[in-house]
Structure 1
Amino acid sequence: MPVKRIWHGWTTPENANAYETLLKTFVFPSIEAKKVAGYRSIELLRRPLEDEVEFITVMTFDDLDSVKAFVGEDYETVYVPDRARAILKRFDDRSQHYELIETRHY
């Protein structure tokens, strides 16, 4: 059963564009370069708040074994490269995982 891996990070409004660019040009390509069997996709969500900007990544894997191949046996471990940590204001210290039950397209 497919698994969605969800993670949240927050930046200051001043760092939001730089962080988005870093994700698109460095973090996501570094994930793809790992060529993890069972990794299917990553989605990026962005939401401005009063004094910070929230980012959410949603990764799709075939199953938990695929997630473990990505980050190890402790599969809730986050993947946040140092370059990203330097821009982030704060972030989840653990990723959440959900079984994908159904997707409907209209």
Structure 2
Amino acid sequence: MTTTPTIARIWRGRTTPENADEYESYNRANGVPPLLKTALGVQLLREDRETETWFTTISYWADMDAMTAFTKGDPETVHHLPRDEDLLMELPDRIQIHQILVDQQHLR
């Protein structure tokens, strides 16, 4: 099995500015840890706008088989956290799956 990611799984959701800090904490505590146990890497991104805050979670996988094993089925199916319905403006209905074509990171 390779340890180089070839697949990125991307989830996006948005919440109100009033719920943003709570959702960030909730996602860090409940959404990210399961990914950290099995994915090769995870990024949680936040974009604050005037009327909404977007969150993006990107997980990196060796291949589709590894990602499918984690999701226990179709990796494009959204698995909502229990409080997503209360904290998000709407429940996201799709996951994006991208092949990684260039993986060059510059750390400073």
| TM-score range for the pair, normalised by the shorter chain length | 0.7 to 0.9
3-state SS of 2:68 partner: helix
Q: CA deviation at 1:30?
A: 3.6
- Show the counterpart of 1:49: 49
How far apart, CA to CA, are the structure 2 residues paired with 1:61 and 1:70? 10
Partner amino acid, structure 1, of 2:74 = D
TM-score when scaled to structure 1? 0.84
- Show the counterpart of 2:80: 80
3-state SS of 2:59 partner: strand
- Superposition CA RMSD, Å: 1.7
| Higher mean C-alpha deviation, range 53-62 or range 68-77 | 68-77
Partner amino acid, structure 1, of 2:89 = K
TM-score when scaled to structure 2? 0.83
Question: Does the Cα contact within 8 Å between 1:6 and 1:95 map onto a contact in 2?
Answer: yes
Partner amino acid, structure 1, of 2:22 = A
2:31 aligned residue (13, 27, 32):
27
Q: CA deviation at 1:16?
A: 0.1
1:6 aligns with 2:38: no
More strand by share: 1
Q: Give the share of equivalent positions with the same residue, in percent.
A: 33
How far apart, CA to CA, are the structure 2 residues paired with 1:84 and 1:31? 17
Q: CA deviation at 1:58?
A: 0.5
Structure 1 runs not aligned, ≥5 long = none
